[in-house]
Amino acid sequence: MSFFGFHYKLERKAIGLVIGIILVASIGGIVEIAPLFTIHQTVEDAPDMRLYTPLELAGRNIYIREGCYACHSQMIRTLRDEVDRYGPYSLAVESKYDHPMLWGSKRTGPDLARVGDKYSDQWQVAHLNNPRDVVPVSVMPAYRWLLTTELRIDDLPLHLKAQRRVGVPYTDEMIENAALDAYGQANPDSPQAEGVAKRYGKATNVRAFDGLPDQLTEMDALVAYLQILGHLTDAANKPVAQAGTVQ
């Protein structure tokens, strides 16, 4: 039977069309997505990869809430000019714990994959508060409410728990202390500050990000997040030959 003859019969059966559509439409996704979970080389190994602290995770959620991803990518492509402008190209492992990923699709503003430590906290705070105070031609909105809004930390243990459920290896201790750690990371002189370094590593930034040591604002969280971008692992700075090595 010719193809068109077959179709002549198929189009008389609604259920035949339904099954046909589902079959034909499933193939592409299965072939392209399923192997990404099974082929080991897809994500490089990076033993030094560290987790977002509760404060950084809260900052990341503010980044999502405000829609920053609509104008800023976090994915440096393997192109010479991008590496020259933004730094080493992004590796898959660097967003391994990003649920969801924030690679972005548009650069109305510059890429932020390696913006961490590129500017001072003061610059970030001033810029977020009103970008045109520091970059006169910027078209970024002013986020003035960040400095005056207190950060909600009481539900952070639940956030870490949900993160663990989707595969981020937070320990029980981290989950238990999530709220205290968020407070401590932005209050270096407080007794809670010590625990942050203990649980998340000595390299963790512990300081009053918003310049207001007695307050924990949303600005603290967002700046803490921005300052860690590109610094979760050192894998991208290593020679290429090592980055793709399979253990």
Partner 1 sequence: MIAQLTRRERQLAILISLVVAILGLLLGLAGRNDPLGLHGALICVTGLVMIALIGRDYLAPEPSEDRFSQYYDDPIRAGILLAIIWAVFGLTIGDWVAWQLAYPDLTFGEAWSSFGRLRPVHTTGVIFGFGGNGLIATSFYVMQRTSRARLADQVSPWFVLIGFNLFCVIAVTGYLMGITQSKEYAEPEWYADIWLVIVWVTYLLLYLRTLARRKEPHIYVSNWYYMAFILVVAMLHIVNNLAVPVSFGSAKSYSLFSGVQDAMTQWWYGHNAVAFFLTSGFLGMMYYFLPVRAGRPIFSYRLSIISFWGITFFYMWAGSHHLHYTALPQWVQTLGMTFSLMLLIPSWASAGNALLTLNGAWHKVRDDATLRFIMVAAVFYGLTTFEGSFMAIRSVNSLSHYTDWTIGHVHAGALGWVAMITFGAIYSLVPWLWKREAMYSPRLVEAHFWFALAGTIVYVFAMWNSGIIQGLMWRTYNDSGTLAFSFIDTLIAMHPYYIARAFGGMLFLIGGCICAYNIWMTIREPKPSVERTGDLPEPQLAAQPAE
Site for partner 1 in 178-217 (CB under 8 A): none
CA 16 to chain centre: 43
Total number of residues that touch partner 1 (CB under 8 A):
88
Say how far apart CA 55 and CA 199 lie, in whole Å.
13
Q: Which of these ranges, 77-85, 119-127, 175-183, 184-192, lies near partner 1 under the rule CB under 8 A?
A: 77-85
Helix (H, G, I), strand (E, B) or coil at 245: coil
CB 95 within 8 A of CB 76: no
Tell whether residue 145 is a contact of partner 1 (CB under 8 A).
yes
Looking at residues 93 to 122 of the shown chain, list those that interact with partner 1 (rule: CB under 8 A): 93-111
Tell whether residue 135 is a contact of partner 1 (CB under 8 A).
yes
Tell whether residue 67 is a contact of partner 1 (CB under 8 A).
yes
Q: Which of these ranges, 142-150, 180-188, 192-200, 206-214, lies near partner 1 under the rule CB under 8 A?
A: 142-150
Q: Which of these ranges, 48-56, 156-164, 171-179, 184-192, lies near partner 1 under the rule CB under 8 A?
A: 156-164
The single residue among 45, 50, 87, 92 that binds partner 1, judged by CB under 8 A, is 92
Residues written for the chain: 247
Tell whether residue 15 is a contact of partner 1 (CB under 8 A).
yes
Q: How far is CA 237 from CA 25, 78, 241, in A?
A: 40, 14, 11
Looking at residues 218 to 247 of the shown chain, list those that interact with partner 1 (rule: CB under 8 A): none
Provide the minimum distance between the beta carbon of 194 and partner 1 in the complex, in angstroms, as a whole number: 27
Burial 42-76 (b: 16+ CB within 10 A, else e): eebbbeebebbbbbbbbbbbbbeebebbebbbbbb
Burial of 190 (0-12, 13-18, 19+ CB in 10 A): middle
The single residue among 1, 40, 47, 167 that binds partner 1, judged by CB under 8 A, is 167
- CB closer to partner 1 out of 75 and 151: 75
- CB closer to partner 1 out of 104 and 184: 104
Q: How far is CA 236 from CA 72, 165, 242, in A?
A: 20, 27, 10
- CB closer to partner 1 out of 78 and 247: 78
Say how far apart CA 64 and CA 79 lie, in whole Å.
27
Say how far apart CA 68 and CA 64 lie, in whole Å.
6
Tell whether residue 39 is a contact of partner 1 (CB under 8 A).
yes
Q: Which of these ranges, 25-33, 48-56, 170-178, 198-206, lies near partner 1 under the rule CB under 8 A?
A: 25-33
